[in-house]
């Protein structure tokens, strides 16, 4: 008899760091903050066991800088934080976008602004994930909702980061981060793990920002390829430039490398969408609440459905438009005062879009969403 794989009761944050290790993460730098601390705590124990490095830095700015440095030295790297820490990391995040450094940043959201409400759930950093750092830049953000899913989405985050040489944000709330569910850790090889492409040309021919390529290969420092890295607009060799054509082409390539590959980065989950007359668009723990509401609505004979994005940025406009084809309205519950609802409105012109918002540190419960659905009876 084949051995049954061990099922373990695991916390969302634990699932995250185990997923990171599975994906090949071997460097973590961070500054602990509730409700993300268990990720740092877990990796401080796990990374040294497998030859990885863990550093608790003096603050969040230094943490993201260390992560960028370690990634350029060839290690898959990550950091984790929450609201105020995510604010501090924005400059480094922009640098990683510009310098095209693969890395993963986990933001377990908490209430804000400022230090806000550390132990309560929130989804108020969704727009910050997209626009928190300045300048036109590509953003990939994933929004898992289940403990098992945090594991697989963390692996996917590293894969996207490595494949497209870009930072990837994992965005979830305190409920998902702190809750425990039984999960099964996949065997090695069961989930795809992608490593960055390295140059094969002679070092003197290497162009780390070659505009002719969608994603130029990335050499690791210390392996014989000498190159320059900067946050300034740069030429193909990495050195700063004032040439307007080079600047424009460089920025556009950054955007294009994600834009052209949206289909492979997007991931959604649907529940009763086929004939849905009212679609609930929800992510993270709010989507679990919404799933229950949809089920309750169906029991009452109301044709409700759930659209749940696992990739929130780039925004899943194409799939959403498809999902609302037969709908009379869209309901968007989120634990903020109205963020992703704006994006939904923009993509569902002429349709009634209703937001359900909550910022009191309590989750949006199924009854609240069901009340809004029942208006479509």
Cα dihedral across residues 44, 155, 312, 328: positive or negative? negative
Residue 367 binding another protein, by CB under 8 A = yes
Residue 8 binding another protein, by CB under 8 A = yes
Among 41, 91, 181, 277, binds another protein (CB under 8 A): 181
For 271, the 3-state DSSP assignment is strand
Among 69, 84, 116, 118, binds another protein (CB under 8 A): 118
Q: Which is nearer to another protein, 178 or 318 (CB)?
A: 178
- Footprint of another protein on 22-81 (CB under 8 A): 34
3-state helix/strand/coil string of 151-215: HHHHHHHHHHHHHHCCEEEEEEEHHHHHCEEEEECCCCCCCCCCCCCCCCCCHHHCCCCCCCCCC
Question: In the bound complex, what is the minimum distance in angstroms from residue 163's beta carbon to another protein?
Answer: 30
Q: Which is nearer to another protein, 119 or 260 (CB)?
A: 119
Q: Which of 300, 318, 301 is nearest to 309 (CA)?
A: 318
Distances (CA, A) of 328 to 15, 298, 323, 349: 38, 16, 11, 12
Q: Which is nearer to another protein, 118 or 186 (CB)?
A: 118
Among 180, 226, 346, 375, binds another protein (CB under 8 A): 180
Tokens 């438009």, residue? 321
Residue 270 binding another protein, by CB under 8 A = no
Number of residues that bind another protein (CB under 8 A): 22
Residue 317 binding another protein, by CB under 8 A = no
Question: In the bound complex, what is the minimum distance in angstroms from residue 290's beta carbon to another protein?
Answer: 8
Contact status, residue 336 vs residue 364, Cβ threshold 8 Å: no
Q: State the Cα–Cα distance between residues 305 and 276, nearest whole angstrom.
A: 5
Q: Is the peptide bond before 91 cis (omega within 30 degrees of 0)?
A: no
The stretch among 161-169, 175-183, 213-221, 229-237 that binds another protein (CB under 8 A) is 175-183
- Footprint of another protein on 271-300 (CB under 8 A): 285, 288-289, 291-292, 295
Question: In the bound complex, what is the minimum distance in angstroms from residue 31's beta carbon to another protein?
Answer: 18
Q: Which is nearer to another protein, 175 or 254 (CB)?
A: 175
| Residues constituting the chain | 377
Residue 7 binding another protein, by CB under 8 A = yes
* Burial of 245 from C-beta contacts in 10 A (0-12 / 13-18 / 19+): exposed
Count of beta carbons in the 10 Å neighbourhood of residue 326: 14
Question: In the bound complex, what is the minimum distance in angstroms from residue 354's beta carbon to another protein?
Answer: 20
Question: In the bound complex, what is the minimum distance in angstroms from residue 182's beta carbon to another protein?
Answer: 4
Q: State the Cα–Cα distance between residues 141 and 63, nearest whole angstrom.
A: 19
The stretch among 127-135, 219-227, 253-261, 361-369 that binds another protein (CB under 8 A) is 361-369
Binding site for another protein (CB under 8 A): 7-9, 34, 118-119, 175, 178-182, 285, 288-289, 291-292, 295, 363, 365-367
């Amino acid at each position: 008899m084949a051995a049954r794989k061990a099922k373990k009761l695991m916390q969302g944050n634990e699932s995250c760091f185990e997923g990171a290790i599975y994906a090949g993460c071997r460097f973590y730098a961070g500054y602990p903050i509730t409700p993300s601390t268990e990720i740092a705590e877990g990796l401080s124990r796990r990374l040294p066991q497998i030859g990885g490095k863990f550093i608790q830095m003096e603050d969040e700015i230094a943490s993201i800088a260390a992560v960028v440095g370690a990634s350029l030295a060839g290690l898959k790297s990550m950091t984790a934080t929450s609201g105020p820490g995510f604010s501090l990391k924005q400059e480094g995040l922009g640098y990683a976008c510009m310098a095209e450094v693969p890395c993963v940043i986990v933001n377990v959201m908490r209430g804000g602004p400022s230090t806000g409400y550390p132990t309560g759930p929130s989804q108020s950093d969704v727009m910050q994930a997209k626009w928190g750092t300045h300048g036109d830049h590509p953003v990939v953000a994933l929004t898992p909702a289940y403990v098992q899913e945090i594991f697989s989405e963390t692996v996917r985050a590293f894969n996207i980061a490595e494949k497209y040489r870009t930072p990837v944000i994992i965005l979830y709330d305190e409920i998902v981060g702190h809750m425990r569910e039984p999960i099964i850790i996949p065997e090695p090889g069961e989930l795809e793990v992608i490593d960055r492409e390295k140059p094969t040309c002679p070092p003197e021919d290497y162009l780390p920002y070659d505009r002719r390529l969608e994603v130029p290969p990335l050499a690791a420092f210390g392996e014989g390829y000498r190159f320059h890295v900067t946050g300034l607009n740069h030429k193909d060799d990495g050195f700063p430039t004032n040439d307007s054509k080079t600047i424009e082409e460089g920025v556009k390539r950054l955007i294009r490398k994600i834009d052209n590959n949206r289909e492979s980065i997007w991931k959604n989950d649907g529940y009763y969408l086929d004939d849905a007359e009212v679609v609930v668009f929800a992510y993270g723990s709010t989507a679990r609440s919404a799933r229950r509401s949809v089920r309750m609505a169906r029991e009452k004979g109301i044709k409700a459905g759930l659209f749940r994005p696992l990739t929130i940025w780039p925004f899943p406009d194409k799939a959403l438009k498809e999902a609302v084809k037969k709908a009379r309205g869209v309901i968007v519950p989120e634990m903020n005062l109205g963020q992703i609802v704006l994006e939904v409105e923009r993509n569902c012109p002429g349709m009634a879009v209703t937001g359900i918002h909550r910022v009191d540190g309590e989750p949006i419960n199924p009854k609240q969403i069901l009340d809004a659905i029942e208006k479509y009876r």
